[in-house]
């Protein structure tokens, strides 16, 4: 079984389509939230995901931007993010907002080898808000795993790819599809191959997409220009 991990699409349709061309045929897709926010195509991204969730094995949880846009909970957002939240609330359809409201905060998955996974956008301690950055001390990751009953924890939120291994258990972040922040502008995703032995059966991938087009649409929509510029730098 091949499990594709994606996260933080952020209304970037071009990045999602580029990733989908590589993972669309995998057995399972697990998405760790933030379908929307920042980018220019929230309705298109949500409708793409809704359609695929109906026809195949595709699980998706809620991120802090999905939550902010669906419920108006934007505390702690920077001015650019907040402006994008307001813009999303104006342009998104009722049906798509309702879809965001129904996304669960946590997801569970068990693969065909019996390994179990907890999906959460931020961390078990603050599901929508805490950032598990790769440079945190190992003791933090140990503490976090203390709140998880499953074998592995799958997160998003930082937009930085990460693999932490602690006593045979893993914390995996595939990186950001639609707004990478590790200095590489290309869309990020990861693959778990359950035909191989864990923990070394996860691979991180990058794929180029039409970033010029996404940036053009951000500016055209009247969203902050900074949100277009950062896509080229991957920060």
Identify which of 17, 15, 10, 54 has the alpha carbon closest to the alpha carbon of residue 32.
Answer: 10
Residue 8 or 111 having the CB closest to Mn ion: 8
66: contact with Mn ion by CB under 5 A: no
Q: How far, in Å, CA of 90 to CA of 222, rounded?
A: 13
Range in contact with Mn ion (rule: CB under 5 A) among 30-38, 46-54, 90-98, 209-217: 30-38
Identify which of 60, 74, 64 has the alpha carbon closest to the alpha carbon of residue 31.
Answer: 60
Q: How far is the CB of 120 from Mn ion (least distance, A)?
A: 13
34: contact with Mn ion by CB under 5 A: yes
Residue 103 or 115 having the CB closest to Mn ion: 103
Range in contact with Mn ion (rule: CB under 5 A) among 26-34, 42-50, 199-207, 213-221: 26-34
Binding Mn ion (rule: CB under 5 A), the pick from 3, 5, 8, 41 is: 8
Count of residues that interact with Mn ion, criterion CB under 5 A: 2
Residue 34 or 152 having the CB closest to Mn ion: 34
Residue whose beta carbon is closest to Mn ion: 34
Q: How far, in Å, CA of 187 to CA of 126, rounded?
A: 26
Range in contact with Mn ion (rule: CB under 5 A) among 7-15, 81-89, 109-117, 136-144: 7-15
Residue ranges of the alpha helices (H) in the chain?
A: 13-23, 42-55, 64-71, 79-91, 94-102, 138-145, 211-220, 225-233
Range in contact with Mn ion (rule: CB under 5 A) among 14-22, 33-41, 189-197, 204-212: 33-41
Q: How far is the CB of 157 from Mn ion (least distance, A)?
A: 6
26: contact with Mn ion by CB under 5 A: no
Residue list 194-213, contact with Mn ion (CB under 5 A): none
Contact (CB, 8 A) for 159 and 181: yes
Q: In the sheet that 116-120 helps form, which strands lie side by side, from edge to edge?
A: 106-110, 116-120, 152-154, 169-173, 162-166
Residue 34 or 111 having the CB closest to Mn ion: 34
Tokens, residue 194? 């359950």
Rounded to 5 degrees, φ, ψ at 163 are -135, 115
Strand partners, 76: none
The residues of the shown chain that bind Mn ion, judged by CB under 5 A, are 8, 34
């Amino acid at each position: 079984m091949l499990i594709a991990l994606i996260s933080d699409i952020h209304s970037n349709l071009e990045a999602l389509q580029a990733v989908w061309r590589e993972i669309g045929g995998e057995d399972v897709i697990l998405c760790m939230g933030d379908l929307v926010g920042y980018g220019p195509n929230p309705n298109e991204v949500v409708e793409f995901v809704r359609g695929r969730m109906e026809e195949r094995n595709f699980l998706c949880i809620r991120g802090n931007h999905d939550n902010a846009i669906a419920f108006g909970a934007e505390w702690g957002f920077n001015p650019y993010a907040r402006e994008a939240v307001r813009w999303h609330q104006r342009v998104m359809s009722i049906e798509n907002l309702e879809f965001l409201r129904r996304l669960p905060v946590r997801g569970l998955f068990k693969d065909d080898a019996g390994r179990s996974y907890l999906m959460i956008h931020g961390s078990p301690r603050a599901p929508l808000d805490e950032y598990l950055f790769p440079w945190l001390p190992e003791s933090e990751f140990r503490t976090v795993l203390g709140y998880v009953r499953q074998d592995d924890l799958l997160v998003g939120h930082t937009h930085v790819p990460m693999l932490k291994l602690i006593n045979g258990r893993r914390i995996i972040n595939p990186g950001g599809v639609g707004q990478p922040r590790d200095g590489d502008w290309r869309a990020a995703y990861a693959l778990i191959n359950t035909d191989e032995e864990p923990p070394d059966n996860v691979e991180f991938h990058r794929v180029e997409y039409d970033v010029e087009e996404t940036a053009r649409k951000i500016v055209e929509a009247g969203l902050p220009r900074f949100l277009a510029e950062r896509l080229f730098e991957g920060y």
